[in-house]
A = this chain, B = another copy of it.
Amino acid sequence: MSDSPRRYAQSAALFARAAAVVPGGIYGHMAPTLMVPGESPYFAARSEGARYWDADGNEFLDFLCGYGPNLLGYGHPEVEEAAARQARDANCLNHPTARFVELAERMTALVDFAAWAVFGKNGADLTTWAIQVAREHTGRKKILRVAGAYHGAHAWCSPGHGGWIEEDRAHIHTFPWNDLDAFRDFVRRHPGEVAGVITTAWHHPNFSPAELPKPGFFAGLVETCRAEGIVFILDDVRSGFRLHHGGSHRFFPGCEPDLAVYCKALANGHPISAAVGRSFLRKAAARVFLTGSYWNSAVPMAAALKTLEVAERDDAVGRIAKLGARFRAGLHAAAARHGIAASLSGHDSMPNWNFADDPNSYRAQAFACEAMRRGVFFHPHHNWFLCAAHTEADIDHAVAVADAVFAAMNSDAVVPAEH
């Protein structure tokens, strides 16, 4: 891996500058410690379609899509034109614009159970607000969530160790994904105390394989929620509008949330999140104060309207699903060809890729590192994302690169990076 310092010289130089003026240099989900330290780009410079160029000018065929916001392709011309046109008129004002109304109407038409919509800037703005709405509606305190699921960086759910106190989680309780008995048991032991349950549409933790819902999991969860007056919140921040144009709950039979939160794919990278809910939650929703300086800004709303329109018109979901199936088949065949024990998990549009017998993620890091050297960006620990700008040729190229990396891994030419 001796060529890496040259390959990522600008990234390294920028990181040295960042480390002087930013705690940790780069924080949060883009921190280099979560990628391949020393062996992946740290800074990007340009993007187009399904490709980006890092600070050193290295080109990557991208399978992370900005961690999800890139649904239609970076810099999609129609979305950018809609945003630019709106920017020429107005953006951040004393009042909302008509875009606010149009987008709320669009969201409530799009999501089958939605009687109302609200908007924020981050996913966590609204996952946090959603548990508040559940508490306000029920007059109860307890929130159930799935162990290991990500709902944002707020104190009640942050995966980080610092900055939260026991009171922040005094009424936050976890149960294992797909474990309906554990969920029901908790509810039974706390009658009249559970305000809400929040889950993703399927379980996509970092560092381990994704798990789809077992048959009956959501139906059983919903049955208990209805019987006990518990609000079911779907955190569709990461997968919303990638599995189904009407929201990911439509993809999984029995998944019938009362409130859902969307974010990443909503505006193809423009900053906006949304929550929608059933009619019975409208009063509680109106009582939980919700606002931010830029939350009614018109440009991201114009971008969201255009993104939803283009995604539906061009059947982005269907296109990505087809590409994803091709990708899965190709990767599995390549791995089998080289006797590599590894597999894709989760939904094809945003799969996890995990090696068997890889307790320290060395193989995942070596694989990602070697693919990056060959111009394909696979994240070693996080689920990948496909977008509508990927082509069949892109998928085939990525599979060919994976095939070459598997060969190199078998030949012992690939040594895990030191840690």
Using a CB–CB distance below 8 Å, which chain A residues touch chain B?
11, 14, 17-18, 21-24, 26-30, 41-47, 52, 54-55, 62, 64-70, 74-75, 80, 83-84, 87-98, 100-101, 104-105, 107-108, 115-118, 121-125, 128-129, 132-133, 135-136, 141, 152-155, 158-165, 167-168, 170-171, 237, 263-264, 269-271, 273, 282-297, 300, 377, 379
Contacts and interface: CB of A to CB of B under 8 A. Distances in A.
Contacts of A164: 132
A94 B118 contact: no
Contact of A294 (B24, B62, B121, B287): B121
Given A66-B92, A136-B162, 9 more contacts: A17-B101, A18-B100, A18-B101, A22-B100, A28-B292, A43-B97, A122-B125, A141-B165, A269-B297
Residue from the set A96, A133, A164 with the largest chain B CB neighbour count within 10 Å: A96
A326 to B, nearest CB: 23
Contacts of A295: 28, 122
Given A30-B95, A101-B14, A132 B162 contact: yes
- Shortest beta-carbon contacts, A-B, top 4: A28-B291, A160-B289, A132-B163, A162-B287
B282 A23 contact: yes
Nearest to A69: B92
7 contacts: A21-B117, A52-B94, A54-B95, A64-B94, A84-B84, A121-B294, A122-B125
A289 B163 contact: yes
Given A22-B116, A122-B121, A43 B96 contact: yes
B121 A94 contact: no
A274 to B, nearest CB: 11
A52 B163 contact: no
B287 A163 contact: yes
Contacts of A47: 89-91, 93
A117 B29 CA distance: 17
Contacts of A291: 27-30, 153
A55 B17 contact: no
A70 to B, nearest CB: 7
A88 B75 contact: yes
Given A132-B162, A288-B160, A74 B95 contact: no
Contacts of A133: 163
Contacts of A136: 162-163
B69 A30 contact: no
A285 B22 CA distance: 9
Nearest to A287: B162
A115 B11 CA distance: 22
Contacts of A29: 291
A80 B87 contact: yes
B94 A67 contact: yes
B293 A94 contact: no
Contact of A68 (B96, B290, B293): B293
Contact of A91 (B141, B161, B269): B269
A105 B170 CA distance: 39
Contact of A23 (B54, B75, B88, B118): B118
Contacts of A269: 91-92, 294, 297
Contacts of A98: 14, 43, 45, 55
B101 A23 contact: no
A104 B23 CA distance: 10
A116 B19 CA distance: 9
Contacts of A104: 18, 21-22
Contacts of A141: 165, 167
B90 A46 contact: yes
Contact of A95 (B21, B42, B270): B42
